[in-house]
Structure 1
Amino acid sequence: MRIAVSPWGNVEVNGTSVGTTPPLNELTLPEGRHQIVIRNADFPPYSATISVAPGQPVNLKHKFGS
């Protein structure tokens, strides 16, 4: 999964913190559905459910404040 967040965000996958983007810009996730939450203290959290399938790239973009 490729991830692009502006200005920045703490990324959680299925309730587990996995890092801050940027610099984090790519995650390897197992096949299936995943709940992604991106938190930035200055804005409400952003959440998305993604489905990962073999050979299918997943891109997640979010701009806080827009």
Structure 2
Amino acid sequence: MTILLKRQQYPACPHCDESTQVRKHGRARSGLPRYRCVGCETTFQTRYIYWAYQTDSNESVGR
């Protein structure tokens, strides 16, 4: 009998666009999963609560 293990799919790193070196890195205070890229040594989330932390937001936050 052969047992097949399901390989987890991790998101691509938004800094270096590499997905093979991304590992789990715990959870944020909001409960969302965090990831760490071993290649460029950065941490990131796939979704953020505060919109200004999104990597594709080009608008600046006014104070």
Verify same fold: TM over 0.5. Answer: no
* Structure with more helix by fraction: 2
Larger Rg computed on CA atoms = 2
Instruction: Please indicate the TM-score interval, normalised by the length of the shorter structure.
Output: under 0.3
* Structure with more strand by fraction: 1
If the length of structure 1 is used for normalisation, what is the TM-score? 0.27
If the length of structure 2 is used for normalisation, what is the TM-score? 0.27
